[in-house]
Amino acid sequence: SITFLRSEYKAPAFTIQTVDLDIALNPSKTMVVNRMMIQRAAGQIGQSLVLHGEEQELISVRVNGEIVRGYELTPHSLTIHNLPDQFELSITSANIPEKNTSLMGLYVSNGNFFTQCEAEGFRKITYFLDRPDVMATYQVTLRAIKKDFPVLLSNGNLIKEEELPNGWHSAVWQDPFPKPSYLFALVAGKLQSIERTIKSQSGKDKLLQVWVEAKDLDKTEHAMDSLIASIKWDEQRFGLELDLDRFMIVAVGDFNMGAMENKGLNIFNTKFVLANPETASDVDYSNIESVVAHEYFHNWTGNRVTCRDWFQLSLKEGLTVFRDQEFSADQMGSASGKAVKRIEDVRLLRQVQFPEDAGPMAHPIRPDSYQEINNFYTVTVYEKGAEIIRMQQTLLGREGFRKGMDLYFKRHDGQAVTCDDFVSAMSDANQKDLTEFKRWYSQAGTPRVKVEESFAGNTYQVKLTQSCPATPGQDTKEPFHIPLLYKILGTESSSDSSKASNEQLFELTQTSQTITVEGLKQKPTLSINRNFSAPIVLDFEQSESDLLTLLRQDEDAFNRWEAAQKLFMRSILNGATLTSDLLNTLKEILLDGQLDPAFKDLIFTLPAESYLYEQVKVIDPQAIHQSRRKLRHQLAHHLQEAWLWAYEHHQTPGKFNPDAMSAGKRSLKNLALHMLSESGHAGAGDFALKQYENANNMTERYGALAVMVNFASAHAAKCLQHFHQTFQSDALVIDKWFALQATRQSDLSNPRSVLKDVLALRQHPDFSLKNPNRARSLIHAFCMNNPGAFHQPEAASYEFWAKHVIELNQINPQVAARLARGLDRWKQFAPNYQVHMKSALELIAKQDNLSSDVAEVIEKALN
């Protein structure tokens, strides 16, 4: 397979100014006529034009109206020689949407047409320079049979609709903004919309639409509200206005990822649009809000200013994730809510990105090479990328960051640019040297900072030493520029208390540096990397008493939470006992009526197993799993009364409200129910059944069902069946039904029981590997989100995994490649697991017909 290198970037030999597409939609054969105005770039005399194209039937090629026959065609390209400097190229080709199971390019889902072009799907629709630095304006004519496809949508503005002979009709769409081909989209079919008209900052009317199947119209309100909130927020925070007169969101049930920011026509996985209280949980509501915002924010960070090449993906993704994180934090409505959002984001980073950064697929946020670009839509490019943006804001301040953003748009609106261009704008707008900071873009791996404290003769010193483990292709690293927010607590007894009592920013730029504070009467308590100011691992053997001080009184909510996480981690990994001091503090926190319930819920959410794996040299997954469960049992048992109080005092009566405070109450209530069951409380079974039966929302219903299923309640089977029957016509809820069973906790006396259930569910009539959401709800959920059940020292579940990677590879390479990442960290596992993992990997490796997606993942894992 081919490896693409960032260092080999070459500007295109031709540019395309305008694209005029005429598409006659038919599921079994769609005809595409693509008329382009093309210009030879300066200094490219004699170059042939090499267009990308895949899985199409080429019908004709015309240059300035004349048929051309002397072209060269391969399965991936069309080359045309002897072209003038400026010409019209017209290409006619056909493709078969109903046969397209990869869900890239043009495909059919539930009888309707959709497209997905990022990263390289446009080349399956027509022959093109399918690369983001070729930006053109598009006019699109869609034709289809009207009764089957009454709605015809594409990017930009609708300029004409017409009735045609034989029951056909057409619509013409014009997008005034030049765009790369990956932002092209069309949708056609039986859809309906809700509409709102709003006025933007400058007083212009904007038409907003959310398009869904008729049966889902009652689930669109939250997405529309989220869109309006996003539009307002981007105006206020960044001065960025919606540039089109019309903005559309469309939901589709078959989709490879979350959503796609096509210009003016965002296409979404139904999971991130549809919600009503009965069918969607609080987590769904908040995911919808953030994904709607994310795609909308791309309109500026991604669309108006786009990427020069795919190595620069984090230019748009890291920045846009940062923007959606800030938006969601602001929507929380309170300071504690913002902290909750930050903790959730950090949990995700540690659970998924830290392992990626330590494994065979580790790459810098701006990768240097790839075999398949689809494999690089990663938590590193997205979530770590967002952390790198966040650090720039921390270093420059919010105002300085805004100045940098303004300069970025002033310089680059309408261009395809690089990560370097972004950092230059930040640096120039603030006269701040970010040369060393840019190593975050080029070096992979999670930096570690060792913290060593000393206190002698009234002087307190903190020695900070940084290092970063080797990653593939990068044996040694230069020091990172690490912004550390810190505060020294307990300086009240100092002679000069003003000295060190505020939060400060320390910029660690060398391998080792020391912070010194003089004139203290006793050793203070250090609160460092507050609000997780840098995406690093802190090696800090802080004493239990210092951690308890932080847990009780740090006003940085993140570090309060972090103190509890550290103590829990010591208990799980080193068998440290829970001291009565810790248990009492935890009890006070749980019973504290002033504290945000969502924060309390997070305090008692134990570190994820995948994060715990990263703390040990050799992973024994069952030892970690059991030790983690033992800790949870202790917390349940020792705090039983407090859990009962929490269960009874977090009701949300009345009409369902998805706001952060109500959602926090529900999540703490569900956790309390879980803890009561875990503690063996006699009433727990009844509470669960009643909660299930009386719930007026999915969060409480699902929470109760999860407790029944996880603790093998006598009512579990009956309620599972009731749940299935109640929601059988709602695919997203049936996904939950599968996922719940695939992620239930393993039965310690019968370790294979979850796999056995999953194998049975695999045969369920509602199961299908072709629908990505459904495949993920069972297969990915079991293999990647249930480590305690999945990792057994035997072949069975690893063989199950391999078999499904192989099967999915034939259907949908992207969905297969995600699953293939499941054994990334196999070399770290204890030998009795490793041997079975290795055989499973080798089983996949020896298949022929592996997609480039799966091949790259498996090859790197085995390497």
Given the complex with Zn ion, which of 316 and 715 has the nearer CB atom? Answer: 316
DSSP conformation letters of 345-399: HHHHIIIIIHHHHTSTT---SS-SEES-GGGG--HIIIIIHHHHHHHHHHHHHHH
- 42: CB partners within 8 A, 6+ apart: none
Question: Given candidates 25, 171, 257, 381, which one binds ligand B3K under the rule CB under 6 A?
Answer: 257
Given the complex with ligand B3K, which of 319 and 346 has the nearer CB atom? Answer: 319
**Burial classification of residue 649, based on how many CB atoms lie within 10 Å of its CB (0-12 exposed, 13-18 middle, 19 or more buried):** middle
Q: How many residues bind ligand B3K (CB under 6 A)?
A: 12
User: Would you count residue 372 as binding ligand B3K (CB under 6 A)?
Assistant: no
Stretch that binds ligand B3K, among 38-46, 147-155, 252-260, 504-512 (CB under 6 A): 252-260
Apex 676 CA angle, 674 and 682, nearest 5: 130
Question: Given candidates 377, 401, 408, 711, which one binds ligand B3K under the rule CB under 6 A?
Answer: 377
Given the complex with ligand B3K, which of 269 and 743 has the nearer CB atom? Answer: 269
CA pair distance 767, 789, nearest whole angstrom: 21
Given the complex with Zn ion, which of 54 and 317 has the nearer CB atom? Answer: 317
Which residues in 615-654 contact Zn ion (CB under 5 A)? Answer: none
- Token representation of residue 400: 């300085």
Q: Smallest distance from the beta carbon of 358 to ligand B3K, in angstroms?
A: 24
Q: Smallest distance from the beta carbon of 349 to Zn ion, in angstroms?
A: 16
User: Would you count residue 119 as binding ligand B3K (CB under 6 A)?
Assistant: yes
**Cα–Cα distance list, 644 to 605, 638, 700 (Å):** 17, 12, 16
Provide Rg for the chain, Cα atoms.
28
Which amino acid, one-letter code, is at 397? Answer: G
List the catalytic residue out of 120, 295, 317, 356.
295
Which residues in 668-707 contact ligand B3K (CB under 6 A)? Answer: none
- Token representation of residue 434: 């970010």
Helix (H, G, I), strand (E, B) or coil at 448: strand
Q: Which does 257 bind (CB under 5 to 8 A by kind): ligand B3K, Zn ion, none?
A: ligand B3K
Q: Smallest distance from the beta carbon of 267 to Zn ion, in angstroms?
A: 13
**Cα–Cα distance list, 372 to 96, 503, 853 (Å):** 23, 44, 6
User: Which residue is it, tokens 């053997």?
Assistant: 541
Which residues in 313-332 contact ligand B3K (CB under 6 A)? Answer: 317
Given the complex with Zn ion, which of 119 and 819 has the nearer CB atom? Answer: 119
Given the complex with Zn ion, which of 130 and 317 has the nearer CB atom? Answer: 317
Q: Smallest distance from the beta carbon of 258 to Zn ion, in angstroms?
A: 8
Question: Given candidates 26, 139, 325, 374, which one binds ligand B3K under the rule CB under 6 A?
Answer: 374
Helix (H, G, I), strand (E, B) or coil at 50: strand
Q: Which does 356 bind (CB under 5 to 8 A by kind): Zn ion, ligand B3K, none?
A: none
Nearest Cα neighbor of 265 from 198, 177, 190, 201 is 177
CA pair distance 505, 413, nearest whole angstrom: 33
Q: Say whether 614 is catalytic.
A: no
Residues across the chain: 863
Count the neighbouring beta carbons within 10 Å of the beta carbon of residue 45. Answer: 8
Which residues in 314-343 contact Zn ion (CB under 5 A)? Answer: 317, 320
The contact pattern for Zn ion, residues 274-313, with x = CB under 5 A and - = no contact, is ----------------------------------------
CA pair distance 14, 602, nearest whole angstrom: 54
Which amino acid, one-letter code, is at 414? Answer: G
Stretch that binds ligand B3K, among 253-261, 505-513, 741-749, 769-777 (CB under 6 A): 253-261
Stretch that binds ligand B3K, among 3-11, 61-69, 290-298, 410-418 (CB under 6 A): 290-298
Question: Given candidates 22, 118, 289, 853, which one binds ligand B3K under the rule CB under 6 A?
Answer: 118
Given the complex with ligand B3K, which of 585 and 812 has the nearer CB atom? Answer: 812
Phi–psi pair at 29, nearest 5 degrees: -165, 110
User: Would you count residue 261 as binding ligand B3K (CB under 6 A)?
Assistant: yes
User: Which residue is it, tokens 């589709």?
Assistant: 252
Q: Smallest distance from the beta carbon of 337 to ligand B3K, in angstroms?
A: 24
Nearest Cα neighbor of 608 from 325, 833, 349 is 349
Given the complex with ligand B3K, which of 306 and 494 has the nearer CB atom? Answer: 306
Residue 476, CB-side half-sphere exposure with 13 Å CA sphere:
2
User: Would you count residue 419 as binding ligand B3K (CB under 6 A)?
Assistant: no
Question: Given candidates 186, 210, 240, 260, which one binds ligand B3K under the rule CB under 6 A?
Answer: 260
Measured N-to-C along each axis, helices 813-820 and 852-862 cross at an angle, to the nearest 10 degrees, of 10
Please give the residue ranges that form the binding site for ligand B3K (CB under 6 A).
118-119, 257, 259-261, 294-295, 298, 317, 374, 377
Please give the residue ranges that form the binding site for Zn ion (CB under 5 A).
317, 320
Would you name the residues annotated as active-site residues? 295
